[in-house]
């Protein structure tokens, strides 16, 4: 949902510029040789791919959508490209490029001749605006490309529209249908949504058949408890679609030391190498099985492969699972279902944020972000399998065959490995709202389930009920679980991001879908990962009952702690046996320009657990606010240190009975149990609203640095905590930014009241009260 806000902000700023600033965008028209161009824009609505994107608001398909207010934009680098698959060979007569302010100084227009890119036009002195290029000779092509050589500005390349004109070619050369190699743009390409790679050489015109299991090779020699055991399987077989278990089914049967039998589906895998973090496809294909032992001792396994007409099994193999330091999979804590715990019983308190997609360089981006999160003590991210990110099925694949998205699957492999190495856990969002929406972040026109793209559905809601759609989705879910379900670092599967933006959100449609798919997960996920969802109101009991925990998203609220507290009270009353997470929160990006200190994010991150959530508030704007402003330590170091050794599930919490001895411009929130309290004292001036007013005042007063803002200090405040048994208490007062103890002392309660003198503060304080 939130990249809508980026776009709205951008449109507002552009409107402001055009209304109030005297900008004249130059136009120029270049004709190589005058011809009558075809009136049909054959690139309109066709699959588009690019070397990079600036962010998810500037996708390649926006250059071919025919809309005036959307555009494609790249990273800030010279060698970039935009390619379009015209979905047929055309006789091309003209290109029209409508540039945004970030335009190409030097670029080429190219067509694919079946083997290499051929340049049909070169520009060395581009000046933006609209470029109309009428070709001197008609050229036949299916794949076309704008190949940027040098930018004209310090930004990247950005096109409002990339138009191609022509008519269907007569008797075209069949070689023109050959798919381009995705690595021809540069010697070391960086790609976001590449042209599809060649498909795996497995298609058979005859009946599928398994003749032999040629080898079953363990990829690790030593395996610890909760570590990945992986097999690579070579088959002598013919088949049409390796992703369709009704065509060919490959599984492994494991027998645990206890005698428990576990069946794990194999998945079809394409191998990749990496060059500076970029996945480069090889032609090595195989079946793989990933399995995680949950018992110590010897396991036996055997691989089975079958088609309708054949069946075969391998010889048995064994491996031994030894002790490890890993805590296991994440569960709802059996002692207190408001919180999470690992298999070994240790608490899991999520500290983190949404890192939903990359900005084009997936492995490098996630390495950077996860390193920063780990260094600040974080242990949680939320990641989307979105069309521009890591989904394995979209327009370029069609339904049911994931060959052309194997590079995305490999990227997700690597991100999960990065998380495992850093002790970070992932809520993996399987479906984002835009895929099934026609108005809010609409992507339905490109969805392969859409009948216009060869799918079975005339409308998005058909996805939940159409038998063919259900079959393809369940096949996709099976592949997801087979490939990534092994990992304890998948904290949870999330069915939908914000389904309220789709026509599938009614309880009549959604509840049966959730029930059916959650039951399917129970069958195919032997590790019983947690399952959640977002975008349904608390009242939809039929939606939430089958799920393990609840979550909600919050934007543009003036007081996140108060908002969270009210919401958590409502959710807890409705579902007392489920943890609650603030899955997303944030302000409109325009409101953040005054807040370079991360104040609003800080209040939301702390506000969630201090009002009863099972983890921190999960902030949005990771790539455009938190990382660019280097707020990782500012936001996460303090809270991760404060909650690190807390076993929240050991107590039954309620709101604290705490107030100030005298009128103070502060408030107190937190949790209180019988003889324990976790408190949060907040200066009421510590807010984004205060920052905005102070910033504007500094501008009026022409202060050299208008962002140099400090908050009024509160001195001499005394906190009174009531309803505690008489006795001595260890009281620690923490710095919420650097996560250190500012003050520690033993204080005696008197008449059920504990009196705590507070140090001078200007932002907030976190306090632990425990029996001494």
pLDDT confidence tier of residue 177, bands split at 50, 70 and 90: confident
CATH superfamily for domain 24-177: Galactose-binding domain-like (2.60.120.260)
pLDDT at position 165 is 96
pLDDT at position 180 is 84
Helix, coil or strand: residue 606: helix
Tell me the CB-side half-sphere exposure of residue 353, using CA atoms within 13 A. Answer: 31
Q: Is the pLDDT of residue 188 over 90?
A: no
What percentage of the chain reaches a pLDDT higher than 70? 91
Compute the distance between CA of residue 43 and CA of residue 268 in angstroms, rounded to an integer. 33
What percentage of the chain reaches a pLDDT higher than 90? 80
What is the average pLDDT across 245-272? 97
| 203 phi, psi to nearest 5 deg | -70, 130
pLDDT at position 371 is 99
pLDDT tens profile 377-430:
999 999 999 999 999 999 999 999 999 999 999 999 999 999 999 999 999 999
Tell me the CB-side half-sphere exposure of residue 246, using CA atoms within 13 A. Answer: 7
Cβ(261)–Cβ(254) under 8 Å?
Answer: yes
pLDDT tens profile 511-520:
999 999 999 9
- Bridging pattern class, strands 347-348 and 340-342: antiparallel
pLDDT at position 57 is 66
Q: Which segments of the chain belong to CATH 2.60.120.260?
A: 24-177
Tell me the CB-side half-sphere exposure of residue 276, using CA atoms within 13 A. Answer: 6
Q: Is the pLDDT of residue 202 over 60?
A: no
What is the average pLDDT across 323-335? 98
Compute the distance between CA of residue 111 and CA of residue 92 in angstroms, rounded to an integer. 10
pLDDT at position 276 is 75
Q: Which segments of the chain belong to CATH 3.20.20.80?
A: 330-383+414-426+484-650
Instruction: Give the E-state strand segments of 479-592 in sequence order.
Output: 490-497, 530-532, 550-555, 580-586
Q: What is the average pLDDT score of the chain?
A: 90
* Strand-pair partners of 427: 382, 492
For 438-442, 524-528, 586-590, which range has the lowest pLDDT when averaged over its residues? 586-590
Cβ(619)–Cβ(595) under 8 Å?
Answer: no
Helix, coil or strand: residue 342: strand
Q: Which two tokens stand for residue 87?
A: 């979905």
pLDDT tens profile 454-495:
999 999 999 999 999 999 999 999 999 999 999 999 999 999
Compute the distance between CA of residue 419 and CA of residue 262 in angstroms, rounded to an integer. 26
- Alpha carbon separation from 758 to 439, 574, 714, 715 (Å, rounded): 51, 37, 9, 8
pLDDT confidence tier of residue 32, bands split at 50, 70 and 90: very low
Compute the distance between CA of residue 688 and CA of residue 177 in angstroms, rounded to an integer. 56
Q: Is the pLDDT of residue 2 over 80?
A: no
Q: Work out the angle at residue 706's Cα, subtended by the Cα atoms of residues 705 and 709, and round it to the nearest 5 degrees.
A: 100
Q: In what order do the strands lie in the sheet with 209-218?
A: 209-218, 229-238, 278-291, 267-275
Look at the block and give the residue holding tokens 């003209």.
94
pLDDT at position 181 is 67
Contacts of 514 (CB under 8 A, 6+ apart): 495, 533, 542, 543, 546, 547
For 67-81, 151-165, 173-187, which range has the lowest pLDDT when averaged over its residues? 173-187
Q: Work out the angle at residue 660's Cα, subtended by the Cα atoms of residues 710 and 663, and round it to the nearest 5 degrees.
A: 70
Q: Does 55 or 194 have the greater pLDDT score?
A: 55
Q: Which two tokens stand for residue 533?
A: 């969802």
- Bridging pattern class, strands 158-168 and 209-218: unpaired
Helix, coil or strand: residue 698: helix
Cβ(176)–Cβ(132) under 8 Å?
Answer: no
Compute the distance between CA of residue 382 and CA of residue 357 in angstroms, rounded to an integer. 9
Q: Work out the angle at residue 560's Cα, subtended by the Cα atoms of residues 554 and 563, and round it to the nearest 5 degrees.
A: 75
Phi-psi region of 134 (alpha: psi -120 to 50; beta: other; left: phi over 0): beta
pLDDT confidence tier of residue 178, bands split at 50, 70 and 90: confident
Q: Which two tokens stand for residue 576?
A: 């007392």
pLDDT tens profile 282-310:
889 999 999 999 999 999 999 999 999 99
pLDDT at position 428 is 99
Cβ(97)–Cβ(130) under 8 Å?
Answer: yes
Please name which of 3, 98, 17, 18 lies closest in space to residue 54, comparing C-alpha atoms: 3
Compute the distance between CA of residue 294 and CA of residue 471 in angstroms, rounded to an integer. 31
For 22-31, 178-187, 431-440, 473-482, which range has the lowest pLDDT when averaged over its residues? 22-31
Helix, coil or strand: residue 82: strand
Compute the distance between CA of residue 57 and CA of residue 663 in angstroms, rounded to an integer. 47
pLDDT at position 198 is 37
Please name which of 321, 293, 289, 294 lies closest in space to residue 304, comparing C-alpha atoms: 289
pLDDT confidence tier of residue 593, bands split at 50, 70 and 90: confident
209-322 has which fold?
Immunoglobulin-like (2.60.40)
Compute the distance between CA of residue 177 and CA of residue 743 in angstroms, rounded to an integer. 72
Cβ(619)–Cβ(601) under 8 Å?
Answer: yes
pLDDT confidence tier of residue 203, bands split at 50, 70 and 90: very low
Compute the distance between CA of residue 49 and CA of residue 446 in angstroms, rounded to an integer. 13
Q: Is the pLDDT of residue 625 over 90?
A: yes
The matching CATH number, chosen from 3.20.20.80, 3.40.309.10, 3.40.190.10, 3.40.462.20, for 330-383+414-426+484-650 is: 3.20.20.80
Compute the distance between CA of residue 47 and CA of residue 127 in angstroms, rounded to an integer. 27
- Bridging pattern class, strands 278-291 and 297-306: unpaired
Cβ(180)–Cβ(117) under 8 Å?
Answer: yes
Number of H helices, E strands in the chain: 10, 36
Q: 658-771 domain in CATH 2.60.40?
A: yes
For 183-197, 320-334, 366-380, which range has the lowest pLDDT when averaged over its residues? 183-197
Q: Which two tokens stand for residue 698?
A: 């500094």
410 alpha carbon, distance to own chain's centre: 15
Q: Which segments of the chain belong to CATH 2.60.40.10?
A: 209-322
pLDDT at position 10 is 34
Count Cβ atoms below 10 Å from residue 662 Cβ, excluding itself.
Answer: 8
């Amino acid at each position: 949902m939130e990249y809508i806000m980026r776009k709205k902000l951008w449109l507002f700023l552009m409107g402001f510029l055009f209304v109030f600033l005297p900008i004249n965008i130059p136009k120029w028209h270049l004709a190589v040789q005058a011809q009558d161009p075809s009136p049909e824009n054959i690139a309109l609505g066709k699959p588009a791919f690019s070397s990079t994107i600036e962010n998810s608001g500037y996708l390649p398909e926006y250059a071919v959508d025919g809309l005036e207010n959307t555009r494609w934009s790249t990273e800030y680098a010279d060698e970039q490209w935009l390619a379009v698959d015209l979905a047929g060979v055309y006789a091309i007569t003209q290109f029209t490029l409508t540039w945004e302010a970030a335009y190409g100084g030097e670029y080429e227009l190219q067509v694919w001749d079946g083997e290499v890119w051929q340049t049909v036009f070169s520009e060395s002195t581009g000046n933006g605006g609209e470029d109309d290029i009428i070709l001197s000779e008609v050229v036949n092509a299916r794949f076309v490309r704008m190949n940027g050589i040098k930018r004209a500005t310090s930004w990247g390349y950005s096109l409002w529209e990339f138009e191609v004109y022509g008519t269907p070619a007569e008797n075209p050369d069949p070689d023109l249908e050959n798919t381009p190699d995705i690595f021809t743009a540069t010697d070391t390409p960086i790609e976001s949504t590449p042209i599809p790679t060649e498909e795996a050489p497995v298609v058979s015109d005859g009946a599928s058949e398994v003749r032999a299991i040629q080898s079953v090779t363990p990829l690790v020699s030593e395996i610890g408890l909760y570590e990945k055991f992986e097999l690579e399987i070579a088959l002598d077989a013919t088949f049409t679609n390796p992703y369709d278990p009704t065509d060919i089914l490959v599984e492994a049967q494991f027998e645990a030391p206890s005698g428990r039998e576990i069946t794990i589906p194999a998945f079809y895998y394409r191998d990749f190498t990496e060059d500076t973090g970029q996945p480069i496809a090889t032609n090595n294909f195989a079946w793989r099985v990933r399995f995680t032992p949950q018992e110590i001792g010897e396991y036996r396994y055997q691989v089975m492969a079958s088609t309708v007409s054949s069946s075969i099994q391998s010889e048995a193999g064994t491996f031994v699972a030894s002790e490890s330091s890993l805590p296991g999979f994440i569960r709802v804590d059996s002692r207190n279902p408001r919180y999470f715990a690992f298999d070994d019983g240790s608490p899991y308190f999520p500290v983190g944020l949404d890192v939903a997609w990359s900005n084009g360089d997936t492995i490098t981006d996630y390495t950077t972000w996860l390193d920063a999160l780990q260094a600040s003590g974080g242990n949680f991210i939320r990641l989307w399998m979105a069309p521009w990110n890591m989904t394995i099925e979209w327009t370029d694949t069609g339904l049911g065959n994931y060959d052309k998205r194997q590079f995305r699957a490999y990227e997700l492999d690597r991100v999960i490995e990065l998380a495992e190495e850093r002790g970070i856990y992932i809520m993996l969002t399987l479906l984002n709202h835009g895929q099934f929406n026609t108005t809010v972040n609409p992507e339905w026109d490109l969805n392969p389930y859409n009948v216009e793209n060869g799918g079975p559905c005339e409308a998005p809601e058909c996805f939940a009920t159409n038998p063919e759609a259900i079959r393809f989705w369940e096949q996709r879910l099976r592949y997801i679980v087979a490939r990534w379900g092994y990992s304890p670092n998948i904290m949870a599967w999330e069915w939908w991001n914000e389904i309220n933006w789709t026509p599938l959100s009614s309880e009549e449609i959604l509840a049966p879908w959730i029930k059916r798919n959650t039951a399917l997960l129970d069958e195919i996920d032997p590790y019983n990962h947690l399952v959640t969802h977002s975008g349904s109101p608390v009242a939809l009991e039929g939606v939430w009952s089958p799920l393990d925990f609840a979550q909600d998203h919050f934007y543009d609220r003036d007081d996140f702690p108060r908002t969270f507290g009210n919401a958590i009270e409502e959710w807890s009353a409705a579902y007392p046996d489920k943890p609650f997470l603030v899955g997303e929160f944030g302000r409109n990006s325009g409101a953040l320009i005054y807040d370079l200190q991360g104040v609003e994010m800080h209040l939301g991150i702390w506000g969630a657990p201090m009002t009863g959530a099972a983890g921190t508030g999960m902030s949005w704007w990771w790539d455009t606010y938190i990382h660019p402003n280097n707020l990782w330590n500012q936001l996460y170091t303090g809270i991760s240190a404060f909650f690190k050794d807390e076993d929240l599930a050991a107590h039954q919490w309620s709101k604290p009975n705490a107030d100030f001895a005298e009128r103070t411009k502060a408030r107190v929130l937190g949790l209180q149990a019988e003889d324990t309290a976790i408190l949060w004292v907040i200066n009421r001036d510590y807010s984004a609203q205060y920052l905005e007013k102070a910033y504007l005042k500094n501008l009026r007063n022409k202060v050299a640095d208008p962002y140099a803002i400090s908050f009024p200090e509160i001195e001499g405040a005394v906190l009174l905590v009531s309803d505690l048994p008489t006795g001595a208490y260890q009281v620690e007062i923490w710095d919420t930014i650097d996560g250190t103890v500012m003050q520690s002392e033993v204080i005696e309660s008197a008449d059920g009241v504990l009196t705590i003198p507070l140090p001078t503060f200007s932002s907030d304080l976190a306090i632990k009260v425990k029996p001494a």
